[in-house]
Amino acid sequence: MIHAVVGAQYGDEGKGKMVDYFAVQADMVIRYQGGGNAGHTIVNEHGKFALHLVPSGIFNPNTVCVVGTGVVVHPMNLVKELKSLQDGGIDTGNLVISNRAHIVLPLHIWQDQYEEASRSKKVGTTLQGIGPAYQDKAGRFGLQIGEMKDLEHFRSRLLSTYEAKLKRMPGIREFGGSFDDMWNELTAAREVLLPYIQDTLPLIRQAVEAGKHVLLEGQLGVMRDLDWGVYPFVTSSSPISGGTSAGAGIPPTAIKRVTGITKAYTTAVGEGPFPTKLEDEMGKFLQEHGHEYGATTGRPRATGWLDIPTLRYGAWLNGYTELAMMKLDVLSGLSEVSICTHYDLNGQSYDLPLPAYELEQAQPVYETLAGWTEDISGCRKFDDLPEAAKEFVQKIEELVGVPIRYISVGPERNQTISRE
Ligand code: GDP
């Protein structure tokens, strides 16, 4: 069974928890796109971990964890992440890194800072070099991580990349450092990472052909997709389920199950349109009760009501076979809860798709439902939920047309209602 777990909103939906939940039964977990700029927070019997690049199956020693070809890897940060897992008692021997994954070089971080500083309208990048690394990949300047193996080859490629980049973009110099510093950092990381780097395709193909349970883990969500998101406030890769095929190396016809992960409300980090954003007390309530601060950056996330057009749009683009609704517990204590059913733009009713510059102007149209006051974090069955919470879930299923098969009522793995 090939099973993709994708973000149904703007990222940070809680994919990490659900991948950890599904990974208990998975033989392989593959990260198929993105870099270490977003983070999954996992709370399980080993403790609390912030994962940035390592797939969430790492806690299960029998699960092969693949940093896939579509991912961009910052070697030094990956070394730190491995160390923090090892310090927490986790054996990372089940990790493999695709030799075709691209390297995020210090150069890319300098470039990210330079480019964001020179934009009049900020994209809201995390300044970790992810976008520039993808630019270089598409521009055919990039370095694949497998190129680290041959030290002489690596040095010569790195040197020519460094010289070419400074020539093309002299402005990055003010954010940058020396070649030697970059070289020293990368070669230190290389020592740690070499044993993990391999051609992952034979391994993946073997798993797929043997009918193993393979989980595909994405970063961010549909609204940050390079093609279909709120361009230009998007990431430089494809979080949608179609991206799994290219990024992991799996035929699209093999993907049989797609779980879209959504919160019971909406959050977003960075710039760009967010029609249901609340800047009042209600927004603060969601931010505080949901602990909505970025796992990697610590930036407070903007919060708002659930946006159904986003879920419907994602249902088409991703082909959700089911949804998982996260953080339903955060809405407890409200007398009323709202959901945005569609938008109004110049007196006309709209759904997605809308380009970002039009979505900026769109006004959300809400339907208000009864809230509930009970603490639901101990509920383990759908029937344990208060009537109003059940009606909230059922209303969303009806509006989106996709079953909500999982409901999460707390950060821990067992705080999950399965309706299978
Ligand atoms: P991801 O990047 O999509 O995995 O999302 P994050 O890990 O950044 O954000 C999810 C955060 O919410 C983490 O701190 C989780 O521990 C927490 N979380 C996940 N599911 C729930 C839930 O159902 N209720 C509550 N209260 N917290 C949750």
List active site positions: 12, 40
Q: How far is the CA of 330 from the centre of ligand 1 (A)?
A: 11
**SS3 of 320, please?**
coil
Q: Which CB contacts under 8 angstroms, 24+ apart, belong to 355-362?
A: 355/231, 356/230, 356/231, 356/232, 356/233, 356/272, 356/273, 359/230, 359/273, 359/275, 360/273, 362/273, 362/275
Residues 244 and 273 reside in one and the same domain? no
The pLDDT, as a whole number, for residue 42 is 78
Residues 119 and 160 reside in one and the same domain? yes
Residues 396 and 290 reside in one and the same domain? yes
Ligand 1: nearest atom to the Cα of 48 = 16
How many domains is the chain partitioned into structurally?
3
In this structure, which residue's CA is closest to atom 19 in ligand 1? 411
Which residue, 194, 226, 251, sits at the end of a domain? 194
The pLDDT, as a whole number, for residue 177 is 81
DSSP letters, 345-382, are ETTEEE-S---HHHHTTPEEEEEEEE---S--TT--SG
CA distances (Å), origin 214, targets 7, 46, 72: 17, 23, 21
Ligand 1 binding pocket mutation candidate from 41, 301, 412 (most atoms within 8 A of CB): 41
What is the arithmetic mean of pLDDT over 229-248?
95
Residues 274 and 411 reside in one and the same domain? yes
In this structure, which residue's CA is closest to atom 14 in ligand 1? 41
Residues 202 and 330 reside in one and the same domain? no
Predicted confidence (pLDDT) per residue in 373-384, tens digit: 999 999 999 999
Cα–Cα distance, 151 to 190 (Å, whole number): 9
Are β-strands 214-221 and 28-31 bridged in parallel, bridged antiparallel, or unpaired? Answer: parallel
Which residue, 231, 259, 287, sits at the end of a domain? 259
Tokens of 262: 């959504």
Residues 287 and 400 reside in one and the same domain? yes
DSSP letters, 205-267, are HHHHHTT--EEEEEEEEGGG-TTTSSTTSS-SS--SHHHHIIIII--GGGEEEEEEEEESSEE
Residues 402 and 284 reside in one and the same domain? yes
Residues 50 and 121 reside in one and the same domain? no
**SS3 of 273, please?**
coil
Residues 271 and 338 reside in one and the same domain? yes
Residues 331 and 372 reside in one and the same domain? yes
In this structure, which residue's CA is closest to atom 15 in ligand 1? 411
DSSP letters, 57-123, are GGGSTTSEEEE-TTBEE-HHHHHHHHHHHHHTT---TTEEEETTSEE--HHHHHHHHHHHHH-SS--
Predicted confidence (pLDDT) per residue in 272-302, tens digit: 999 999 999 999 999 999 999 876 667 789 9
Which residues face 260 on adjacent strands?
A: 6, 323
Which residue, 194, 211, 242, sits at the end of a domain? 194
The CATH number of whichever domain residue 284 belongs to comes to: 3.90.170.10
Predicted confidence (pLDDT) per residue in 98-110, tens digit: 999 999 999 999 9
Secondary structure of 197-211 as H, E, C letters: EECCHHHHHHHHHCC
Kindly report which listed range (4-8, 194-198, 266-270, 360-364) carries the lowest average pLDDT score.
Answer: 266-270
b or e along 204-234 (b: 16 or more beta carbons within 10 Å of the residue's beta carbon)? beebbeeeebbbbbbbbbbbbbbebbbeebb
The CATH number of whichever domain residue 209 belongs to comes to: 3.40.440.10
Predicted confidence (pLDDT) per residue in 317-331, tens digit: 999 999 999 999 999
Kindly report the average pLDDT of the chain as a whole number: 94
Q: Is 145 left (phi over 0), alpha (psi -120 to 50) or beta?
A: alpha
Q: What is the DSSP letter of 3?
A: E
Q: How far is the CA of 301 from the centre of ligand 1 (A)?
A: 13
- Domain range for 371: 263-418
Residues 267 and 382 reside in one and the same domain? yes
Residues 255 and 307 reside in one and the same domain? no
The CATH number of whichever domain residue 163 belongs to comes to: 1.10.300.10
Q: What is the DSSP letter of 301?
A: P
Q: Which residues line ligand 1 (CB under 6 A)?
A: 12-17, 38-41, 43, 295, 326-327, 329-330, 408-411
Q: Predicted confidence band at 3 (pLDDT cuts at 50, 70, 90)?
A: very high
